[in-house]
């Protein structure tokens, strides 16, 4: 029975990581009808930026707050410089541009950090295991599950309970209608 519980919790842990990747793809495609194959490359850069921040003696918790902002700014710059010019094209161009971008970002990561990945050390507070009777599970992986669940809850609230969320949902249904409603920044 313990093996089944371990596999269920492992599946939840893996599913949370897939959720983090998929939610960004879903929102971008839902709003812009833009197929972004470079999305995973930005996830990769986030992991390496976190690793680098820790190498520069930044705390894990500070990196957890700063790195997503840095990656977001980088993605915004790439969108303004490169991707904006591809939006009006057919999906095939989206695929070609974003696969090319993903390859460029991947190669930049290899040049900067070498082709073999490194681990981000687990912070001391998340080191060790949690024991429930005879069942043990790593604290860090439970943190990933809880943190992602909190992010999912915040995202759900943003999309379902705010005016911004209403605009995002409306935009995924009819971007033309939303563009007629007000000042959309371009």
Annotated domain spans of the chain = 1-33+123-186, 35-121
pLDDT, tens only, 139-180: 999 999 999 999 999 999 998 999 888 877 887 777 676 667
pTM: 0.80
Q: Is 185 left (phi over 0), alpha (psi -120 to 50) or beta?
A: beta
| Radius of gyration of the chain, Cα coordinates, nearest whole angstrom | 19
**For residue 25, what are the CA distances in angstroms to 18, 39, 184?**
11, 7, 21
Q: How confident is the model at residue 102 (pLDDT cuts 50, 70, 90)?
A: very high
pLDDT, tens only, 68-91: 999 999 999 999 999 889 988 888
Share of the chain above pLDDT 90, in %: 55
pLDDT, tens only, 109-147: 999 999 888 888 889 999 999 998 888 999 999 999 999
């Amino acid at each position: 029975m313990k093996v089944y519980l371990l596999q269920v919790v492992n599946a939840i842990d893996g599913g949370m990581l897939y959720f983090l990747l998929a939610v960004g793809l879903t929102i971008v495609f839902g709003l812009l009808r833009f197929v972004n194959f470079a999305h995973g490359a930005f996830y990769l850069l986030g992991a390496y930026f976190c690793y680098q921040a820790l190498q520069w003696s930044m705390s894990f918790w500070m990196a957890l707050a700063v790195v997503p902002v840095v990656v977001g700014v980088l993605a915004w710059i790439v969108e303004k410089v490169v991707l904006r010019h591809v939006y009006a094209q057919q999906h095939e161009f989206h695929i070609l541009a974003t696969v090319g971008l993903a390859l460029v970002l991947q190669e930049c990561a290899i040049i900067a950090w070498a082709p073999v990945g490194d681990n981000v050390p687990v912070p001391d507070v998340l080191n060790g295991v949690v024991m429930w009777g005879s069942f043990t599970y790593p604290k860090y992986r439970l943190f990933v599950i809880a943190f992602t669940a909190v992010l999912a809850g915040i995202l759900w609230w943003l999309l379902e309970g705010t005016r911004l969320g209403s605009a995002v949902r409306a935009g995924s249904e009819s971007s033309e209608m939303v563009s007629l409603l007000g000042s959309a920044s371009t």
